[in-house]
Amino acid sequence: MVQGKKIKKTDATKLLGIGITLNFGLALFEYIFGIFAGSLALRSTAFNTGADSLSLIISFVGNWVSQKERTKTKTYGYGRANVIAAFINALLFIIAATFIFYESYKGLLSPKPIKGSIVVIVAFVALMVKSFIALLLIRGKSINLKTVFLDTLFDVIGLVGTLFSGVVIALTGFVLIDPIISFLIGLLILYNGLLITKQTLNILFEGVPSHINMQKVTHAIHTMPNVIAVDHVHIWAITDQVAALSCHVFLDEKNLDDAIKTINKIKKMLAEKFNIKHASIEPELKK
């Protein structure tokens, strides 16, 4: 099954299940106290945490589907379910950022009284919970779990900003810091969404994996013993953890058995040097 090395299904399921439960509870906690404190920054983090809960559910489904065995019609398996889940989550992040920008704009135009001390307490509690979730998700290997972890990490940074705004308001009464911090949180979420969108689209459009240099791979094949030339080189990602290659090589061989040995050496080199373990190489022998 083309899945790549990853944490066990049961482990990933437990991690996502815990994350979903904690995020839903935290979103309600942040939103209720955000209204009570009059803090846009807290409500923004609550909205983002709620979006995180939805993204975790999508990740949960994507992780479950990706574990299914390959079939006669799905010969590569369902590994890309993780990539699709990550792509959907990235779109959710962009939507969430847009909403936060709108709310921040309204907050700047019409600032309202904010209870800074409540913001500090709630942000601190939320920071502890989010840090715990991040520590759970750091074990994830697939782009799906990495997406959720990266978003949670940005949430931690955003909560530090919210905590800072609460301290500033409590000490100085400068309430405009709240929509400003909210806007910065939106920027973090937008950056994360755009970054993941770029990564997932590259896989879905079967682009060359970002960690592989196509020119170096082609040169490495060309410099192998008995290889005269190489062309029609294609490298793509089956999943975020599994790369594949196809190419045509001209060999300084007249015997088919010797050509097969050379091809096997090329495949071994690709696996060891570039972690490309699925290579289809078409040989052309010397006449």
Q: What is the pLDDT of residue 272?
A: 92
| Local mean pLDDT, 10-residue blocks, the chain (287 residues) | 44 74 87 85 79 79 79 80 86 87 87 87 90 80 73 83 90 89 87 89 89 93 92 88 91 85 93 92 84
Helix axes 9-37, 40-66, angle to 10 degrees: 160
State the virtual CA torsion across 83, 86, 91, 94 in degrees, nearest 10: -140
Separation in Å, CA 84 to CA 197, 253, 258: 10, 44, 42
For the chain, the farthest-separated pair of C-alpha atoms sits apart, in whole angstroms, at 85
Do residues 124 and 156 touch, judged by C-beta distance below 8 A?
A: no
Q: What is the pLDDT of residue 51?
A: 76
Q: What is the pLDDT of residue 141?
A: 67
Do residues 196 and 87 touch, judged by C-beta distance below 8 A?
A: yes
Read off φ and ψ for residue 154, nearest 5 degrees: -65, -35
Whole-structure pTM value? 0.76
Which H or E run includes 133?
helix 116-137
Q: Give every CB contact of residue 221 below 8 A, 6+ residues apart in sequence.
A: 227, 230, 233, 247, 249, 266, 269, 270
Residue 31 CB neighbour total at 10 angstroms: 18
Please provide the size of the chain in residues: 287
Q: What is the pLDDT of residue 194?
A: 92
Do residues 185 and 44 touch, judged by C-beta distance below 8 A?
A: yes
Q: What is the pLDDT of residue 112?
A: 82
How far apart, in whole angstroms, are the C-alpha atoms of residue 144 and residue 78?
13
Q: What domains are there in the chain, each with its CATH number?
A: 9-204 (1.20.1510.10), 214-284 (3.30.70.1350)
